[in-house]
């Protein structure tokens, strides 16, 4: 199982801030979550960064990034402050 | 010198506290055009006003408060004002920016800026309005916490106030304007060293717009963009800046245990999401801001200001505190005492690390143990015991204990709550920021590298210098225009086509292009301000400034304002003795990887700095080249540049000398401040009564010499004056301008007192010599007085004392000689007479 965290307004939109999913790649994990939570998830996830154990998947293998048991995936909408 | 641009008040007020004089400071129109306002203009003024090598806490230091053209114009998030002065932490310049309403009111009073020089002999309250400046005694407020002081100030005026930390010269003391804070760089300590407790400003001047229609149209579009954007219309209003606790935690940029780590397992316990769900009452914001990122929370049954991300980061993970409610308390306490939560939190973390190492055993708090924090915060603000050491800031404190490496600072000022080893460009920003370890002055690259909607490798040094410079210049120009930088987060629109999504080849492509941005942005330093002569929708400030002021402001000239401001501050720093060696970071961040298995998780500062200097068109030792100075039209700095080109360490001794004598200077200023604190504490009520009486006497004096008239342009038709008039001399009906019938008016001044200061619609005209009432006084003839008290009841200015079965007494100092008492005294007694005045009106009656 992979631990998934949904931050900020993504978490609020789907009503869950933390969950666990059984998936072996980022792509499968996202489609599982999409099926589970539907439109609110799809709307917000388009803008989200996906981090696997703290590293942005854009610098790994994008959706083909492999996931192992116990990995932590964070879906993070853009944010800023100052 | 009047200026012709719209949007400006056109005047800079110049106050000398030592001499108790004031005037206008002449600023050429071209200077406004080149620097716009805000911190850029302030840096330009300080260049002329401050003698290099002076002590920040000495009377020779000068504070400059400035607004920008957009301040008070109604543009989104444009209520900002700035305070710049010599920095008590770094020895260079500090600029501190605030969204409180002081700037707005200063501009309404008719001033774009305020220069404060010298040192007052006694605690002072500066009262500014359209008619000028009054120097009021503030001894009765000295030693009070911020809320208690604000309670004593007129509600409809803008004010800035220092707390006990400012009076006690804590090196990270802040200035408060309402609930908003001029936090960084110890501006509160400089204000305290001038014995200046309060500045209030009020007025009713209206702003002139160059192209009102164009301005309105640009604003509407701008507000719509902000409200639709996922950051400015989503995250910030919903969760405030504190949402970033979980975001920085996920991206390893959350400073933990004094910047030893970049993430913390307990971060969700102090997250913005938790604050929003559990404690948020409503979101709050500065005036004219559609974003409303401020928090109003319910804590222990009281509604109070919620903490910002920086405060949570510093008082949470950085000192390993898991209790969000304690952060609320400390945040509130810091506001009351007047301290910067960023520098304080970082200094506390450094102190805790010193304690861990056994170097500071008497510190009553430690990582994970904060029971004694409340008392410690008071001790810091009042400089008592160990608090006196912490009040010096992390650099001085760590050096004192022989472990300078634990202080997380650049140039002497502590970093904000972003750990830069997982966002290395942000680290470059910390190192090059002019005021010290500042995230915003540094360009806020963490937005690109970790938190924002694009993917750019956070660990690569490639492109970061050019990007940092672009951001620094843009932020600088936005601040100069009077705007908040938050609207610039909408600079990257969230269009799903290229905004980041996990399947986004386009997003990755954007990241790759950004990497090449040195090639695109690398010529910034050599680019003429006249190039890029167009507006871009992503930076709406240019169009707003242009339509507001009439100054031709396009992308090129706008970023040139930022470049000029940044270079001005850099030159100020160099002239004060800072050098390229001070563009540095602690070894922890440059040499010790954040993750042991990722040797590249350090800030490669040595690689980035030379490129940064090159793109800025500075020489390899960090000195702006002469051609850059010429390009920016800053000839007045040419001789300093020439000296530095020959020897970049030419002025180094200045800073060393300032640091060597700074403790002596501090103690010298502190001694009288403490004496006043004791004096005020011992007899606050009596002092307060004396203050109020002196105000009433001054008011009576003015009323005696004036005639009253309604200013028809300013009258807001509220009718308050008509209701206050004791003799019905004011004609007013709902929806009409009030009118004073001069033949009925007794000149008691009640209408003037009743008219709200932000209308200021009652005009005082000087009385003719034969109408002047300073020479007359009313007196009760004891033998005739029947002790009925009717004069006491009818006196409009409360100048008569009377008790049942006692003779009435008229207080000559407060009497405005309106004659109402003589009129109402029953004719058969005629106990009140008008006589030539004999007493000195200034002397209090026994």
Domain ranges of chain B: 12-201, 230-340+350-420, 423-650, 706-766, 776-836
Beta carbons within 8 Å of B249's beta carbon, 6+ residues apart? B263, B264, B267, B317
For range B249-255, the mean pLDDT: 96
Q: What is the pLDDT, as a whole number, of residue B500? A: 42
Greatest CA span in chain A, whole angstroms? Answer: 37
What does the block give as tokens for A59? 């610098």
What are the chain A neighbours of B293 within 8 Å (beta carbons)?
81
Per-residue pLDDT at B764 exceeds 70? yes
Q: What is the C-alpha to C-alpha distance for residues B77 and B71, in angstroms, rounded to an integer? A: 9
Task: Assess contact for B110 and B584: CB atoms under 8 A.
Answer: no
Q: What is the pLDDT, as a whole number, of residue B507? A: 59
Which residue in the set A74, A79, A82 is minimally distant from B235, CB to CB? A79
Task: Provide the 10 A C-beta neighbour count for residue B49.
Answer: 18
Q: Are B236 and A81 inside 8 Å of each other by CB?
A: yes
Chain A interface includes B244 (CB < 8 A): yes
B590 phi/psi in degrees, rounded to 5: -100, -20
The secondary structure element, H or E, covering residue B378 is helix B373-381
Chain A interface includes B468 (CB < 8 A): no
How many CB pairs below 8 A link A and B?
Answer: 123
Per-residue pLDDT at B663 exceeds 70? yes
User: Chain A: which residues have CB within 8 Å of chain B?
Assistant: 5, 7-9, 11-12, 17, 26-27, 30, 45-51, 54, 56-59, 62-63, 74, 76-82
Q: What is the C-alpha to C-alpha distance for residues B102 and B65, in angstroms, rounded to an integer? A: 10
Percentage of chain B surpassing pLDDT 70? 96
Chain A interface includes B251 (CB < 8 A): yes
For range B228-235, the mean pLDDT: 90
What are the chain B neighbours of A50 within 8 Å (beta carbons)?
502
What are the chain B neighbours of A63 within 8 Å (beta carbons)?
502-503
Q: What is the pLDDT, as a whole number, of residue B503? A: 44
Task: Assess contact for B356 and B131: CB atoms under 8 A.
Answer: no
Instruction: Tell me the shortest Cα–Cα distance from A27 to chain B, in angstroms.
Output: 8
Which residue in the set A5, A54, A78 is minimally distant from B451, CB to CB? A78
* CA geometry: angle B456, B458, B462, nearest 5 deg: 75
Per-residue pLDDT at B185 exceeds 90? yes
Q: What is the C-alpha to C-alpha distance for residues B580 and B38, in angstroms, rounded to an integer? A: 26
Instruction: Tell me the shortest Cα–Cα distance from A39 to chain B, in angstroms.
Output: 15
Max mean pLDDT range (B2-6, B700-704, B757-761): B700-704
Choose the weakest-confidence range: A56-60, B283-287, B311-315, B833-837: A56-60
For range B584-600, the mean pLDDT: 95
Query: What is the CATH architecture of B230-340+350-420?
Result: Orthogonal Bundle (1.10)
Q: Which of B80, B163, B195 is nearest to B339 (CA)?
A: B163
For range B93-111, the mean pLDDT: 96
Q: What is the pLDDT, as a whole number, of residue B104? A: 95
More confident residue, B748 or B155: B748
Q: What is the C-alpha to C-alpha distance for residues B785 and B493, in angstroms, rounded to an integer? A: 80
User: Average pLDDT of chain B?
Assistant: 94
Q: Which of B207, B274, B215, B287 is nearest to B245 (CA)?
A: B274
Task: Provide the 10 A C-beta neighbour count for residue B824.
Answer: 16
- Cα→Cα distances B84→A34, B35, B116, B434, B579, Å: 51, 14, 11, 12, 20
Instruction: Tell me the shortest Cα–Cα distance from A5 to chain B, in angstroms.
Output: 9
CATH fold label, B423-650: 1.10.599
Which residue in the set A11, A45, A56 is minimally distant from B273, CB to CB? A11
Q: Are B457 and A59 inside 8 Å of each other by CB?
A: yes
What are the chain B neighbours of A82 within 8 Å (beta carbons)?
241, 439-440, 444, 485-486
What are the chain B neighbours of A12 within 8 Å (beta carbons)?
238, 273
For the domain B706-766, what is the CATH code? 3.30.70.20
Per-residue pLDDT at B498 exceeds 60? no
Chain A interface includes B486 (CB < 8 A): yes
CATH fold label, B12-201: Aldehyde Ferredoxin Oxidoreductase;  A, domain 1 (3.60.9)
Chain A interface includes B439 (CB < 8 A): yes
* Chain B residue whose CA is closest to A77: B453
pTM of the model: 0.94
What are the chain B neighbours of A49 within 8 Å (beta carbons)?
455, 500
Choose the weakest-confidence range: B152-166, B445-459, B514-528: B514-528
CATH fold label, A2-76: Ubiquitin-like (UB roll) (3.10.20)
Band of residue B531 on the pLDDT scale cut at 50, 70, 90: confident
Q: What is the C-alpha to C-alpha distance for residues B63 and B118, in angstroms, rounded to an integer? A: 9
Q: What is the pLDDT, as a whole number, of residue B497? A: 33
For range B664-677, the mean pLDDT: 98
Query: Is B776-836 the same fold as B706-766?
Result: yes
Band of residue B840 on the pLDDT scale cut at 50, 70, 90: low
Q: Which of B593, B562, B553, B349 is nearest to B471 (CA)?
A: B562
Structural class in CATH, domain B776-836: alpha beta
């Amino acid at each position: 199982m992979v631990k998934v965290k949904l931050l900020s307004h993504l978490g609020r939109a789907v009503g869950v801030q933390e969950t666990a999913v059984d998936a072996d790649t980022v792509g499968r994990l996202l489609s599982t979550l999409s099926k589970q939570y539907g439109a609110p998830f799809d709307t917000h996830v388009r803008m989200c960064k996906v981090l696997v154990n703290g590293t942005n998947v854009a610098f790994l293998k994008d959706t083909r990034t492999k996931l192992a048991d116990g990995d932590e995936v964070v879906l993070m909408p853009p944010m800023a402050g100052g | 010198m009047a200026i012709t641009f719209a949007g400006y008040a056109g005047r800079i007020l110049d106050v000398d506290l030592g001499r108790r004089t004031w005037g206008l400071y002449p600023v050429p129109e071209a200077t406004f055009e080149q620097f716009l306002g805000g911190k850029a203009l302030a840096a330009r003024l300080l260049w002329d006003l401050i003698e290099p090598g002076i002590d920040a806490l000495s009377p020779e230091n000068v504070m400059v408060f400035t607004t920008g053209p957009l301040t008070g114009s109604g543009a989104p998030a444009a209520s900002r004002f700035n305070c710049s002065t010599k920095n008590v932490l770094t020895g260079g310049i500090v600029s501190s920016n605030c969204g409180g309403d002081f700037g707005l009111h200063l501009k309404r009073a008719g001033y774009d800026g305020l220069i404060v020089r010298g040192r007052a002999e006694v605690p002072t309250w500066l009262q500014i309005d359209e008619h000028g400046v009054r120097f009021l005694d503030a001894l009765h407020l000295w030693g009070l916490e911020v809320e208690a002081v604000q309670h004593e100030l007129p509600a409809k005026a803008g004010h800035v106030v220092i707390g006990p930390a400012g009076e006690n010269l804590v090196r990270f003391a802040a200035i408060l304007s309402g609930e908003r804070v001029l936090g960084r760089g110890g501006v509160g300590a400089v204000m305290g060293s001038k014995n200046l407790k309060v500045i209030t400003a009020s007025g009713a001047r209206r702003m002139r717009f160059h192209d009102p229609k164009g301005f309105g149209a640009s604003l509407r579009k701008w507000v719509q963009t902000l409200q639709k954007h996922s950051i400015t219309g989503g995250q910030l209003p919903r969760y405030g800046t504190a949402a970033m606790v979980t975001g920085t935690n996920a991206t390893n940029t959350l400073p933990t245990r004094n910047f030893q780590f970049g993430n913390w397992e307990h971060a969700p316990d102090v997250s913005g999401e938790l604050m929003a769900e559990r404690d948020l009452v409503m979101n709050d914001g500065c005036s004219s801001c559609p974003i409303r990122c401020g928090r109003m929370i319910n804590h222990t049954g009281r509604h109070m200001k919620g903490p910002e991300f920086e405060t949570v980061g510093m008082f949470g993970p950085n000192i390993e505190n898991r209790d969000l409610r304690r952060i609320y308390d400390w945040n509130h306490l810091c506001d009351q005492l007047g301290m910067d939560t960023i520098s304080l939190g970082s200094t506390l973390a450094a102190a805790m690390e010193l304690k861990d190492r056994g170097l500071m055993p008497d510190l009553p708090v430690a990582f994970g143990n904060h029971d004694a924090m409340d008392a410690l915060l008071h001790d810091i603000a009042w400089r008592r015991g160990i608090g006196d050491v912490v009040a010096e800031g992390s650099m001085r404190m760590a050096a004192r204990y022989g472990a300078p490496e634990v202080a997380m600072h650049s140039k002497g000022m502590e970093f904000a709550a972003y750990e830069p080893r997982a966002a290395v460009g942000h680290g470059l920003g910390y190192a090059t920021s002019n005021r010290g370890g500042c995230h915003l002055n540094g360009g806020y690259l963490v937005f690109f590298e970790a938190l924002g909607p694009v993917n750019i490798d956070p660990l690569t040094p490639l492109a970061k210098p050019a990007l940092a410079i672009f951001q620094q210049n843009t932020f600088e120009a936005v601040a100069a225009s009077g705007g908040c930088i938050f609207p610039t987060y909408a600079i990257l629109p969230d269009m799903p086509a290229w905004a980041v999504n996990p399947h986004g080849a386009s997003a990755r492509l954007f990241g790759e292009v950004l990497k090449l941005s040195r090639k695109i942005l690398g010529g910034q330093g050599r680019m003429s301000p006249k190039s890029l002569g167009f507006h871009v929708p992503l930076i709406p400030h240019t169009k707003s400034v242009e339509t507001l002021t009439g100054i031709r402001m396009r992308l090129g000239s706008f970023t040139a304002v930022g470049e000029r401001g940044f270079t001005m501050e850099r030159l100020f720093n160099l002239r004060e003795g800072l050098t390229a060696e001070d563009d540095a970071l602690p070894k922890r961040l440059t040499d010790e990887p954040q993750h042991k298995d990722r040797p590249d998780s350090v800030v490669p500062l040595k690689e980035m700095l030379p490129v940064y200097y090159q793109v800025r068109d500075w020489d390899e030792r960090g000195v702006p080249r002469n051609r850059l100075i010429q390009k920016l039209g800053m000839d007045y700095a040419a001789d300093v540049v020439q000296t530095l080109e020959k020897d970049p360490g030419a002025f180094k001794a200045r800073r060393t000398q300032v640091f060597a004598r700074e403790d002596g200077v501090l103690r010298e200023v502190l001694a009288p401040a403490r004496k006043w604190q004791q004096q005020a504490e011992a007899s606050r009520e009596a002092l307060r009564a004396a203050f109020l009486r002196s105000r009433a006497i001054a008011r009576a004096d003015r009323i005696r010499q004036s005639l009253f008239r309604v200013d028809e342009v300013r009258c807001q038709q509220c009718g308050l004056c008509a209701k206050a008039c004791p003799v019905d001399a004011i004609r007013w009906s709902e929806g009409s301008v009030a009118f004073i019938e001069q033949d009925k008016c007794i000149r008691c001044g009640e209408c003037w007192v009743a008219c709200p200061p932000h209308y200021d619609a009652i005009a005082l005209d000087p009385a003719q010599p034969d109408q002047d009432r300073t020479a007359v006084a009313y007196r009760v003839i004891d033998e005739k007085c029947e002790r009925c008290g009717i004069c006491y009841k009818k006196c409009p200015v409360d100048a008569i004392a009377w008790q049942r079965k006692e003779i009435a007494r008229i207080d000559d100092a407060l009497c405005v000689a309106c004659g109402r008492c003589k009129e109402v005294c029953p004719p058969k007694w005629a106990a009140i007479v008008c006589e030539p005045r004999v007493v000195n009106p200034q002397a209090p009656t026994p």
